[in-house]
Chains A and B, each alone.
Chain A
Amino acid sequence: MICYNCGAELTTNNFCTNCGADVGRYKKIVSTANLLYNQGLDKARVRDLSGAAETLRQCLKLDKSNVDARNLLGLIYFEVGEYVQALNEWVISKNLRPTKNIADDYIELLSNNPAKLDVYSQAVKKFNQALSNCYRGDLDVAEITLRKVLSLNPKYVQAHQLLALVYIHSEQWENARKELYRAQKIDVGNTITLRYLSEAQNILDMDDEGALQGKGLDLKGRKAGAELRAAGKKDLADNYAPQVIRKESKTSTVIINLIIGILIGLAVAYLLILPAKITEAREGVDESLKAAAEQLDAKTAQISSLEQDLKSAQNQNEKLKSDLEVYIGDNGRMTAIDSLLGAVNSYIENPEDMQTVADYLDKIDEKAVEESGESFKVVYTDLMSKVGADVSQTYYDSGMRAYQEELFEEAIGDLTKAYSYDNSNGDALYNLGNAYRKSGDTVKALETYEKVITEFPDTEMATRSQQYINELNVD
């Protein structure tokens, strides 16, 4: 400690040993200033920056030359975002003690970082701008600007407080509380922060209670309750809170809630999930059915096609068989040729044996003759011309024998053959008609008699045929 009068180093005496000035009171003042500095330091250590700043200002009011207090005060100003005030203190501190002063380092730190300095400067400018907006009533713009300020300098306590105030004014209690918590982190003992926080907390607490009870509180009630609560009149404040219902025990509530939750889950599963699963399963089944149906259709189409092919093959087979039959059947061409050759051969070997020739010729079908080639027809016609009459006579004789024995069926067969081998054999035709008549086949008898009349007119056979026709018609 130095003398305020002459600047000499003071001793333990209450006077200056150099100039004799009374330094007793001066010593007490300086001691008190040091005490305040210590208190300020303690507060700063626990982050009660507002309290520390106030204490340090008092210290400096007692002793402006307390460089440590000034430096610490500058540091506190810098921490809360008031960097110009911080610079002021450090500059003054440097002037008071030009050498061995930490304020040098602080100033140099800022000077050597112009970008950072510019950021702080922007933050301060915008804060002042936001404050002007608040005065003008442009709270929305102020809110946006303050958010910008805090993005530039998150430790700007005043900006946090002003933003919280704006939120409180617009009843954004939760946002206000968040900002105030942030401010409180930087400066725990700030009375403005604490006051605003208490206000917001009261409102939010009452809101929570109201929500818990299922009742909302109107704004007036909440504000009135908060006012009274802030004034310490908790009993009166409770009048603005809804009646507190006694809560059930937690365990039973949990169990009931569990049961309700399970029931809701089952209901959801039954109503929402199960139908969807059923639909999905059905769709799967439908898909399978569809696929199976498609396969079935394909198979059916294949079967139809095969059936068509089979039918076509069968038809072709039948045709080929019938074609073959034409050639090799009993009435086929091959058979006819064989029979003709047999007849010719028999005639050549034994011309008298008409029966054998007749047997061969009987095997030849008329249709086969018609469909045969020219050579066949020539040979057949030639043979018939040679043997026809004789064969006809042979059959006529056997037919008449059968007629006389009243074997009319046999007679009809032989007489028919007799006439077929010789169309000029009128007797055979006439007796054929008689055989039909005698056998009871009236229709065939009439036909035959008509043919006799037609083929052999003006003959006795025709006359008799006419008589028989008349008789049969009358019957």
Chain B
Amino acid sequence: MINFEDELRKFHPSLEIEDAQDAIYNQDMTDITDLLVKLIREDRDNKEETKEEK
């Protein structure tokens, strides 16, 4: 059964043109690829550090 209040909470205001700029700037553009690259780089860095210590 539909509860009006609960359903109403699921509705959010739509973006207005004035909010477009902020929305674009605040958008999180990180994707899996970025995470993967980050992980690979971190892994590489760790390996290099270990080599240096030895």
Interface residue stretch chosen among A84-92, A264-272, A323-331, A368-376: A84-92
14 extra interface residue pairs, beta carbon distance < 8 Å, beyond A63-B31, A88-B15:
A21-B40, A25-B36, A29-B33, A63-B32, A64-B33, A82-B14, A84-B16, A84-B20, A88-B27, A124-B17, A127-B14, A195-B2, A199-B2, A227-B1
CA distance in complex: A131, B24 (Å): 24
Interface residue stretch chosen among A48-56, A162-170, A426-434: A162-170
B49 interface hit (Cβ, 8 Å): no
Q: In the complex, what's the smallest C-beta–C-beta distance from B44 to chain A, in angstroms?
A: 9
B20 touches A88 (CB 8 A): yes
Contact with B along A102-121 (1 / 0, CB 8 A): 00000000000000010001
B7 touches A165 (CB 8 A): yes
B36 touches A85 (CB 8 A): no
Contact with B along A26-38 (1 / 0, CB 8 A): 1001100000000
Interface size for B (C-beta < 8 A) is: 26
A196 interface hit (Cβ, 8 Å): yes
CA distance in complex: A32, B40 (Å): 19
Among A64, A135, A168, residue most surrounded by chain B Cβ atoms (within 10 Å)? A64
Residues of A within 8 A of B37 (CB): 4-5, 26
Residues of B within 8 A of A29 (CB): 32-33, 36
Among B2, B37, B40, residue most surrounded by chain A Cβ atoms (within 10 Å)? B2
B7 touches A87 (CB 8 A): no
B32 touches A128 (CB 8 A): no
CA distance in complex: A108, B32 (Å): 31
Secondary structure call for the A interface: helix
Given A29-B32, A128-B13, A199-B2 in contact, is the A92-B27 Cβ separation under 8 Å? yes
A223 touches B27 (CB 8 A): no
B1 touches A4 (CB 8 A): no
Q: A residues near B, CB below 8 A?
A: 4-5, 21-22, 25-26, 29-30, 60-65, 81-82, 84-85, 87-88, 91-92, 117, 121, 124-125, 127-128, 131, 134-135, 158, 161-162, 165, 168-169, 192, 195-196, 199, 223, 226-227, 230
Q: Which of B1, B13, B15, B33 contacts A63 (CB 8 A)?
A: B33
Residues of B within 8 A of A84 (CB): 14-17, 19-20, 23
B24 to A, closest residue via Cβ: A88
B31 touches A61 (CB 8 A): yes
Q: In the complex, what's the smallest C-beta–C-beta distance from B27 to chain A, in angstroms?
A: 7
CA distance in complex: A65, B29 (Å): 10
Residues of B within 8 A of A87 (CB): 17, 20
Q: In the complex, what's the smallest C-beta–C-beta distance from A253 to chain B, in angstroms?
A: 36
CA distance in complex: A213, B14 (Å): 45
A131 touches B13 (CB 8 A): yes
Contact with A along B3-46 (1 / 0, CB 8 A): 01001101101111101100110010111111011001000000
Residues of A within 8 A of B17 (CB): 84, 87, 117, 121, 124
A231 to B, closest residue via Cβ: B1
Residues of A within 8 A of B34 (CB): 64
A230 touches B1 (CB 8 A): yes
Q: In the complex, what's the smallest C-beta–C-beta distance from A297 to chain B, in angstroms?
A: 83
A82 touches B15 (CB 8 A): yes
Residues of A within 8 A of B40 (CB): 21-22
A4 touches B33 (CB 8 A): yes
B41 to A, closest residue via Cβ: A5
Given A165-B4, A227-B1, A230-B1 in contact, is the A131-B11 Cβ separation under 8 Å? yes
CA distance in complex: A82, B15 (Å): 7
Given A63-B31, A88-B24 in contact, is the A192-B2 Cβ separation under 8 Å? no
